[in-house]
A = this chain, B = another copy of it.
Amino acid sequence: MAGVSQTTVSMVLNNRTDTEVRISPETRERVLRVIRETGYIADPAARRLAERRNRIIGVFTYEAVFPSASADFYHPFLLGIEERAEDAGCDLLLFTSAKAASGERRRIFNADSRVRLADGCVLLGRTVDRDDLARLLAEGFPFISIGRRDDAGGPVPYVGVDYPPAVRALVERVKALGHVRLAYVGAGEGGESRTDRMRGFRDAAGPRALHLPVEAGGHGRILDELSAAGVTAVFVEEPADGTALAEAAQARGLSIPDDLSILVLGTPDRRPGSTGFTGFRIQRREIGWRAVELLTDVLERGGMPQELLPCEPVEGTTLAAPRNRKA
């Protein structure tokens, strides 16, 4: 329409003033005018094929993002991710199709995975499949895991939560208040974030401190064991268990924190009226934000970023000096 070759148009569109190819101002203007008038927009697929770059960031989750069961967890991360992606001029591709068959778990690589449509990918989830990680690394596909990950055939790029020092600091504080018998309630394994919390606890509370895994509905029994062992402060891995434990305690007339201090090692549910637990909060939004930031860095300059962000202390109302000290 402008009476020029396709090359010329491409040059004008991409503002290539640098290379061997020169375009006269008149020609450039003519081309731009036609583009403006027709509202021409380059086909993104063809563009991606040629440029090998898209400005699309993939977001992979092992479960659906929006159901309310997981939304509380994912939402703050996505808030940060969207925020940063918007600034970077990137679109977000959610891999909702990743299930091979219905009922099965999502997988990053399946027969017609569209991961490679994205320039890079953010991995989101409490746990991540090791094989998926290994393959991402092997293929050199740029990605950032949200949450620290152990090596999977090589170091994994991540931005996560620095649990150990946060848990240690909390334990030290509790000990300083006079608590002697401490306990950790939760699996303490099954995912890096759990082992990290457990490690922080062990570091500060010593190898002989009580560890109670949670079995379904067993919060009453946990209280039994706690009092049998003379525990005055529990560190709860999962906020949900903190809530359950507090309710169980209340049910049997125990006072929190006077009879038992409860420390929660993660962001508590924000339901109004729920207990204001002492512990710390995970800065999910910041982590999501940083993940995209690091990913775009990797895309431009490469590298193997591994970052841990600090937890934010939460004062709450579930920590007090133990009774014997107070009396």
Known: A45-B48, A273-B272. A82 touches B97 (CB 8 A): no
* B114 close to A44 (CB less than 8 A): yes
Is A83 close to B, CB under 8 A? yes
Which of A64-72, A217-225, A256-264 lies at the interface? A64-72
Which A residues are within 8 Å of any B CB, using their own CB? 39, 41-49, 54-56, 64-68, 71, 75, 78-79, 81-83, 85-97, 99, 102, 109, 111-114, 116-117, 135, 271-273
* A93 close to B96 (CB less than 8 A): no
A96 in complex: contacting residue of B64, B86, B96, CB < 8 Å = B86
Bound-state CA distance A89–B47 (Å) is 24
Bound-state CA distance A89–B101 (Å) is 9
The complex is assembled from copies of this chain, and their number is 2
Across the two chains, which residue of chain B brings its CB closest to A83? B64
Contacts of A88 in B (CB 8 A): 97
Q: 6 tightest CB-CB pairs across the interface, nearest first?
A: A66-B79, A92-B94, A44-B117, A45-B48, A44-B114, A86-B96
* B64 close to A86 (CB less than 8 A): yes
Contacts of A75 in B (CB 8 A): 66, 71
- Can you name 15 A-B residue pairings with CB atoms under 8 Å? A41-B111, A43-B49, A44-B114, A45-B48, A45-B117, A55-B112, A56-B93, A56-B114, A65-B82, A66-B78, A71-B79, A90-B97, A92-B96, A117-B117, A272-B272
